[in-house]
Amino acid sequence: MSSVVYSSNSISKETQKEVQNKGFNLPNTIRNITFHFIKVHYNKYLEDHNLKKIGKEKIPEVVNELYEEKEQELKKYIRGTMRKNFPDYDKNFTLKTSTEEIILEMFDDPEFSKNRIIIEIENYQRKINS
């Protein structure tokens, strides 16, 4: 879930050009897919626990729990969403490989990923409760 801040370092210059020529930025696209996934599970958590928001002190615990439980589901969701939005996804070696590189990078540093999600949830809750 970390790659909310993907570096483009893992994507070749050719891939970046090809992707940008098609009118989208792959890291941002995957970040948006990830944010959507997080938001859906955040809202479900609130609903399941009958909460309006998660207490600031409880956010790290909730993120840790969801991260551990949902890692594989998130990877599948990213790939499935890419397939839905890009019909040639499975035939486009560059797009598919670049997506996999970003997914690997996202899960390479779990602590960074979790901290990034915690910050996003805190910011989101601050906005909706102001």
pLDDT tens for residues 54-92?
999 999 999 998 888 999 999 999 999 999 999 999 999
- Domain carrying residue 49: 3-128
Domain count across the chain: 1
Per-chain mean pLDDT for the chain: 83
| 55 SS3 class | coil
Start-end of H helices in the chain: 13-21, 26-48, 59-85, 93-108, 110-128
Structure tokens at 106: 């996202």
Region 15-44: what's the mean pLDDT? 78
